[in-house]
Amino acid sequence: MSGDTGKDKPAQKPPSPAAPSLPPTEGDTGGRDKASLSASERRRTHDLWVAGTEEPEWVATATDEGAQEILPADIDPAVAGQRGVAVLDDYVSDSTVSPEERQILNLGPQHPATHGVLRLQLEMEGETIRRVKPIIGYLHTGMEKTAETLTYMQGGTNVTRMDYLAPLHNELCFSLAVEQLLDVEIPERAAAIRILMTELNRVSSHLLWIATFGLDIGALSMMLYAWREREAVLAFFEAVTGLRMNHHYIRPGGVAADLPAGWEDEVEEIIEVVRRGLEDYETLLNENPIFVERTHGVGVITPAEARAYGVTGANARAAGIDYDVRKIFPYSGIDQYEFEVVTGSHGDAYDRYEVRMGEMRQSLSIVEQVLETMPPGDYRSEDRKVTPPPRQRIDESMEALIHHFKIFTSGFDVPEGEVYQAVESPRGELGMHLVSKGGPKPWRLHVRAPSFAIVQALPVMLTDLMVADVIATLASVDPVLGDVDR
Amino acid sequence: MAGEASHPGFLLTTMQKGVNWTRTRSMWPATFGLACCAIEMMATGAAHNDLGRFGMEVFRASPRQADLMIVAGRVSQKMAPVLRQIYDQMAEPKWVISMGACASTGGMFNNYALVQGVDQVVPVDIYVPGCPPGPQSLMHGILTLQDKIMAGEIRRSTGVV
Amino acid sequence: MSEGVVLLASLQPTLAAIESATPITFTPRSGPTQVILEVPGQDYVALVTAVRDAGYETFIDLCGVDHLGRDPRFDVVVNLLSVEHRERVLIKVGVENDDPTIPTISEIYAGANFYERETWDLFGIVFEGHPDLTRLLMPDEWEGHPLRKDFGLGSIPVEFKATR
């Protein structure tokens, strides 16, 4: 296919019968044939080339990220940030280690424990990490650019795939931002449904987090147990929205469809099943000596560092900062439900674990309250400029048909303005900065991703730790690379 | 039958069928979960929809130990050379399943940032549609791949068998 | 109006504190839930420092906006939060099209580092004094700044069998 992309795509070359070219290494063998290579040179060949496959020449250098990679400490301009001393100077230097004993280890981007395609370059002295440079962009999808080409009704499909573990939160943030500019009233039932769905989404996201956290720490059975509970929540989502993930359910004006009959029983069952599961996990992990050893005092972030880097959510609350968007800037009627904000004090991985377990319990209690107090009424606003009319009205009324047509083809216009809307996603403060110039599509949609801030703060948490602690810390801060790269 | 141009004879075709059967049993996937599809891939490997019944619950981190690469998620321009490098490191016989709309064709993101279909970078055997495809769709794709291998439709390795 | 609207009146003490801390010009506007301060380029760093000293110590966001056809063409929007005052503030500064340069605030807020790199990567706005202004999301040898309005979407025409 021809295209007008700004970059040549790495096309597949036809298999060449000649010997593949070797990557440029020291003592490059040039074009000599394999028989004349020494044993060590042949070993280098086999490191990168397997019989029967061809490696195109560009591959060896194409994964080199050039200026984005970590440079030796004496010439790297951003050493302070990589040592994690930009805010607090707690760097422990050891003058007995000579520069030759330092090595740079490349972690990722394809790695089972980096929670996505995160690439970390670690400069280590033995087992101790000295500098960390995260390289991101391996999942950059151009979603902010795509958002400028989709109408506000379609925008939810794009935004929901950013933080793919908490899609309903992305949709909620987008819808709230649009509704602020539209100045449209959302019925109470719609607001309550939104809270129900997003709090259940928080539960399912934290369940996946505990599964992968346990898996990375070494408690492999956590992976199986937590997914079992998560399936219950996803089955409910499928019943309500039609999809297990990436629902596009919360739209500007309300939600896409009402809750199905019998939803109360399903939700009660979910609450019961998840509560039992949480007890099981705590029995398994809370006093497990291996788990405690691997998480106590590991990956510490102080409140000052969290504030400077913009770390929010469970990671900041574990450090002691009492900031929850649901309490301070409440949205969608969440202030009518009672819940506590769980905080820790040490800022290490164990506190993050405790905070997230507590958050799951609080979310279940919110879901219980919504279950008891769900108001009757409309599931979306009556404003026909924004929400499409019910199906049978289209057969009866010409006006309804025209509204439906207008909404789904050219889209509804949103008044000019600039607004920032934040919600509390499972990762922290998820915000959207929406600039509208009065048309049917956003002029600029910038998403403030909570995982972006935490990836930036990784050097702070990882320096002076051992390599094994890197995995524990990375798992405990719960980054989602779709959020980071957008 | 097996669709070969030359007919190696009765003994060899039976052995070929046997080898094909063994290759479909316990194909180990390489972890190549990129985005949302990775979550559904993990769900397929979890207890509810069990990939372990096919011997596939061990997702090998090292591509040297894997024979199936499930490209689960959107492949960005920066990731494409990495994808190719991982594919090249896998030993024959190897297969690629392109999972989801983004991996198959670029999905809903027809823009500057994504490779429009992972078959621009690696040869693909099975495309699984969906955004994301549910565990049942992915398993159907895997079972279709197993059928294709058993029927001898995919043979990229050179040599006798 | 959605719930949780913070009116400009309740922010007056904070704005007065900022104003008295530094004699610079800014234009306060009220958005639905936050105050937007527009400031000319030369007072940008002074305002950000003053806002931080007034208690807005949490760095939330820094992004660029391309208003193609307007002069100045770009806007850089900084989003700061004060947990104790329970308030947000947005600071907007305009950046010219030819030679789009503004000073960095990564010395004031360490978190601005990656955000400024991203804005450089996607818009081409140069942040003077930034320690490591390299690409962040795009590959290193990418040409162009994708989120500018004159950089096309880069979509390829989708072929359908029926069109052949």
By Cβ distance, the residue of A1, A142, A310 closest to C59 is A310
pLDDT at C123 over 70: yes
Pairwise CA distance, residues A421 & A431, whole Å: 5
Pairwise CA distance, residues A193 & A250, whole Å: 9
In this prediction, residue A271 carries a pLDDT of 94
In this prediction, residue A95 carries a pLDDT of 62
pLDDT at A353 over 90: yes
Q: Determine what percent of chain A is predicted with pLDDT higher than 90.
A: 47
Omega into A167 within 30° of 0, i.e. cis? no
Omega into A187 within 30° of 0, i.e. cis? no
With cut-offs at 50, 70 and 90, classify the pLDDT of residue A272: very high
CB–CB contact C146 B113 (8 Å): yes
Cα nearest neighbour of C105 on chain A:
A308
In this prediction, residue C20 carries a pLDDT of 62
With cut-offs at 50, 70 and 90, classify the pLDDT of residue C13: low
Residues of A in Cβ contact (< 8 Å) with B44 = none
pLDDT at A444 over 90: yes
- The chains in contact with chain B, meaning 3 or more Cβ pairs closer than 8 Å, are A, C
Are C88 and C68 spatial neighbours (Cβ–Cβ below 8 Å)? Answer: no
CA atoms within 13 Å, Cβ hemisphere of B51? 25
pLDDT at C152 over 80: yes
CA distances from B51 to A225, B29, B42, B48, B60 (A): 16, 10, 10, 9, 14
- Tokens of residue A117, six digits: 């395609």
By Cβ distance, the residue of A6, A137, A228 closest to B78 is A137
Q: In chain A, where are the structural domains located? A: 1-64, 143-485
Segment A469-480 mean pLDDT: 91
**A4 backbone dihedrals φ, ψ, rounded to 5°:** -115, 35
Q: Determine what percent of chain A is predicted with pLDDT higher than 70.
A: 85
Are A118 and B38 spatial neighbours (Cβ–Cβ below 8 Å)? Answer: no
Interface test with B, best of A9, A141, A233 (most B CBs within 10 A): A141
Residues of B in Cβ contact (< 8 Å) with A205 = none
Are B75 and B34 spatial neighbours (Cβ–Cβ below 8 Å)? Answer: yes
pLDDT at A218 over 50: yes
In this prediction, residue A27 carries a pLDDT of 36
The shortest C-alpha distance from B80 to chain C (Å) reads 11
CB–CB contact C3 A331 (8 Å): yes
In this prediction, residue A23 carries a pLDDT of 38
List the single range of A27-41, A367-381, C94-108, C148-162 with lowest mean pLDDT: A27-41
By Cβ distance, the residue of B77, B78, B116 closest to C156 is B116
pLDDT greater at residue C34 or residue A211? A211
211-250 in A: which are within 8 Å (CB) of C?
none
How much is the pTM?
0.87
pLDDT at C118 over 90: yes
pLDDT greater at residue A17 or residue B129? B129
Amino acid at C20: S
List the single range of A45-54, A424-433, C61-70 with lowest mean pLDDT: A45-54
Q: Please indicate if any CB of chain C lies within 8 Å of the CB of A262.
A: no
Mind giving me the DSSP string for A385-446?
A: TTSPPPHHHHHH-HHHHHHHHHHHTT-----SEEEEEEEEETTEEEEEEEEE-SSSS-SEEE
Segment A304-309 mean pLDDT: 91
What class, spelled out in words, does domain A143-485 have in CATH? mainly alpha
In this prediction, residue C31 carries a pLDDT of 56
CA nearest to C108, candidates C142, C147, C57, C42 = C57
The position carrying tokens 């219950």 is A232
Interface confidence (ipTM) of the complex: 0.87
pLDDT at A430 over 80: yes
pLDDT at A58 over 80: no
Residues 6+ apart with CB under 8 A from A168: A160, A194, A197, A198, A201, A247, A249, A250
Amino acid at A186: I
Are B132 and B106 spatial neighbours (Cβ–Cβ below 8 Å)? Answer: no
CA nearest to A298, candidates A217, A355, A223 = A217
Angle CA C23–C31–C34, to nearest 5:
70
In this prediction, residue A190 carries a pLDDT of 93
Pairwise CA distance, residues A124 & A206, whole Å: 32
pLDDT at A375 over 50: yes
The domains located in chain C, with CATH, are 3-163 (3.30.460.80)
The shortest C-alpha distance from B112 to chain A (Å) reads 6
By Cβ distance, the residue of B77, B106, B110 closest to C139 is B77
Mind giving me the DSSP string for A360-401?
A: HHHHHHHHHHHHHHPPPS-SB-S-TTTSPPPHHHHHH-HHHH
Residues of C in Cβ contact (< 8 Å) with A76 = 132
pLDDT at A51 over 70: no
With cut-offs at 50, 70 and 90, classify the pLDDT of residue A3: very low
3-class DSSP state of A287: coil
Express each pLDDT in A446-457 by its tens digit: 999 999 999 999
CA distances from A325 to A91, A322, C88 (A): 32, 10, 11
In this prediction, residue A71 carries a pLDDT of 78
Express each pLDDT in A155-165 by its tens digit: 999 999 999 99
In this prediction, residue A394 carries a pLDDT of 83
Segment C22-38 mean pLDDT: 63
Mean pLDDT of successive 10-residue stretches along chain B, which has 161 residues: 54 79 86 89 88 86 89 90 86 88 90 89 91 92 90 60 43
In this prediction, residue A114 carries a pLDDT of 65
Q: Please indicate if any CB of chain A lies within 8 Å of the CB of C17.
A: no
In this prediction, residue C33 carries a pLDDT of 56
CA nearest to A239, candidates A269, A260, A264 = A260
Within 10 Å of residue C41's Cβ, how many Cβ atoms? 15
In this prediction, residue C126 carries a pLDDT of 92
Residues of C in Cβ contact (< 8 Å) with A146 = 153
Q: Determine what percent of chain C is predicted with pLDDT higher than 70.
A: 76
Longest CA span, chain B: 53
The shortest C-alpha distance from C87 to chain B (Å) reads 34
The shortest C-alpha distance from B122 to chain A (Å) reads 7
